[in-house]
Amino acid sequence: MSRSDAERTADILDAAQELADAVAVGHDDFVTSPLRVRAAERLLEIVGEASNQLSDEFRAAHPDVPWSDIVALRVLLAHHYHRVDVEQVWSIATSSVPDLVRLLEAG
């Protein structure tokens, strides 16, 4: 049985909260902690996979969300892990993901 859009959205929001916890230690402690960085990467993969599984109708109802970018990031993290830049992970986790949460919670 396939998961509903509401369940997928809950997965995204849960992962976003865990990301917020991972980066709450601050930039310097985050980027020097391989465990936190890898955890953040995995959580971003979850956000990307859940986003990829949302219905076309749900995504169309949230046109301000950069769905294709989110899914592309998941592919990069999963398949091109050797090219991942920790500073980009930090930026996405501290800026883009909170923006995503605001967009999903608003609509």
34-62: per-residue pLDDT in tens? 999 999 999 999 999 999 999 999 999 99
- In terms of Cβ atoms closer than 10 Å to its own Cβ (0-12, 13-18, 19+), residue 84 is middle
**Distance (Å, whole) CA 86 – CA 92:** 10
Cα dihedral 32, 67, 45, 75 sign:
negative
**Distance (Å, whole) CA 107 – CA 96:** 17
Whole-model pTM: value is 0.94
- Tell me, what's the pLDDT at 83? 87
Which residues in the chain land under pLDDT 70?
A: 1
- Tell me, what's the pLDDT at 1? 65
